[in-house]
């Protein structure tokens, strides 16, 4: 059984490109999610403050 380099090399290159694409996309999405949670947390603090001011 011979190893067919003409098949193995393109599959390896495609797999490497897929991994690079997924890592870049993950980093981008991670930054967006972190910013979303930061914005959401800031919004919750202002709502709590307003609610506490109305009670007093």
Question: For 3-54, how does the pLDDT look when each residue is reduced to its tens digit (9 = 90+)?
Answer: 899 999 999 999 999 999 999 999 999 988 888 888 888 775 544 455 555 5
pTM above 0.85, yes or no: no
Burial class (CB in 10 A: 0-12, 13-18, 19+), 11: exposed
Of the chain, the end-to-end C-alpha distance in Å amounts to: 83
Can you tell me the distance from the alpha carbon of 48 to that of 56, in angstroms, rounded to the nearest whole number? Answer: 13
Residue found by looking up tokens 């403050």 in the block: 49
CA 36, 37, 42, 48 torsion-angle sign: positive
């Amino acid at each position: 059984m011979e190893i067919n380099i003409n098949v193995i090399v393109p599959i390896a290159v495609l797999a490497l490109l897929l991994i690079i694409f997924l890592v870049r996309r993950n980093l981008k999405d991670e930054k967006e999610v972190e910013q979303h949670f930061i914005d959401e947390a800031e919004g919750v603090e202002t709502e709590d403050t307003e609610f506490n001011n109305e009670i007093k």
